[in-house]
Each structure stands twice: as structure tokens, then as C-alpha cells.
Structure 1
Amino acid sequence: MAFDAAALHALCSSSSVAAKILDAHLAGELGDGERATVDETIEVTGASRRDTIDGLKAIGSTGAGEFKVGRKGHPTRLEWLVDIETLEDAVAGRIPVQRSPRIEVDEQPSLGLYDHVDDDSIAGDADIDDASEV
């Protein structure tokens, strides 16, 4: 899944828990910076377990990280997929504008006006014009 900076920015406005999680991550308060476990996130944000899980899942749904349910001794967590500078930009609303590609003059699509004319018929017409001049 590709990272959706606009969705993450909107999430910060609509979910106070997600905003707290992101603020804590950006401040370096959540573990090693590679992941945010549910338990350490609860400690830092003070949110309920359910709200914390929902917040981590919501952040993951933007492509900023991957939410993983704990298995075999590993804690339930969000593993960050986007670098901290990109997250800071998205949270602050500094979202890159998607621009359409430029079309160069020689790359413009054909209008199809002369698609029925082939090169051989053009060369043959030149011979006819030359013969009529004689």
C-alpha cells in the first residue's frame, strides 16, 4: 500500500488518539522509532487499549505503517514504513501536490486525421503530379 499523506493529515484532525500517537512518535517517545507497541503507546498517550488499537490501525490504513497483531511472544504493534521527516510533513499539512505529467510538443497524441493515408500512397501521388506537368 502506498503512503497517503493527505489521509494521514485528515486523520490527525478526526482522531485525537491518532494525533497523540503521531505526536509521541515524532517526539521520539515511542520505543525505538521502528515500531510502536500497544502497551508503550497506552503508557505515553493515556488512551484506552481499544482506542489505542483503533488509532494504530487507522494510522496503518494510511500506509504510514503496518499494524501487526502479536503472535508467539511478539507484542501487538504498528511497524513504521514511512520515515519521520515524511510523517512530520504530512502531519503539518505539507503534502506534496500530485502534478500531471507534462506533454512535450512532439509527444502529443495523433488526432487521427491522416491515419488512412499510408506512406506508399503519398509517394505514388508525387509521381502522378510529376507526370501531369509534362
Structure 2
Amino acid sequence: MTEQVTPAVQEQETAEPSKAKSAAAGFGKKILGYGVGLAVVAGGGLAWQYLSGDLAIAKVGDCVNAFDKVDDAKVVDCTSADAANKVVGVIDGVSEADFTAKEQSLCEAYPTWDTIVWIGKKGGTGDSWCLEPLKK
């Protein structure tokens, strides 16, 4: 009879590490799942900016439509009938206070600028785009 008890004890000993491995694998899968989900959400946000023509993605040489409010400004193809301005300079990390105080001098390095746009967090920092009228 002692031979029958020994295998039962051995089964219990091997079953416990298996449960621990299974729990660790389940936790790892959860973390991986959350990471993939976060990447999809972040990627979707960036894709939306590019697909919607959000001004925040504009770089030097890009064209922008005519707009009355910054929220209406969009990056458009320079050959488009909507194209009205061209980005001649981008200034990163401008505080709202500096933009308000130095608006007219921020784009001095770009002599052809006509319009300046600032996008950022109210009371915080953001970026400014120096725009020149598009010559058609």
C-alpha cells in the first residue's frame, strides 16, 4: 500500500507548480493584452490626426486651408483649391503667455510669414506655426 500513496503525493507536488505556471502565464497574457490595447488606441489617435488633416501634424512645406478659427485649420494638398497658406516655420514648446506676449516676433526668422497659429493647453505650452500666403 505504501507504493500507492507515494504516486498520489508525487501528483500533488507536480500539480502545484503547474498551477503556479498557469497563473503566471495568465497574468502575462493580461499584461500583453493591455499593452496591445493601449498601442491600438494610441495608434488610432495618431491615425485620426493624419487622416483628419489636424494642423498639429503640419510640418514645414505643408499647406493649410483658409480658416477663421484655429479649430477649422487643416493640412491640405498644396495643389488643392482649399490651400491658402504654406507652413514656413514650426516653433515647438511655446507657452501660451509667450505666444500672447511675443506673437509678432516669434516668426521673425521667417520673413514671408503672414499668420501665426498656436495650439496648446490653455495656460500651458504648445507649438506655433508660421504661415505665409500660398502663391497660386
> TM-score normalised to the size of structure 2?
0.24
Q: Greater relative contact order (Cα 8 A, min sep 6): structure 1 or 2?
A: 1
> TM-score normalised to the size of structure 1?
0.24
Richer in strand (by share): 2
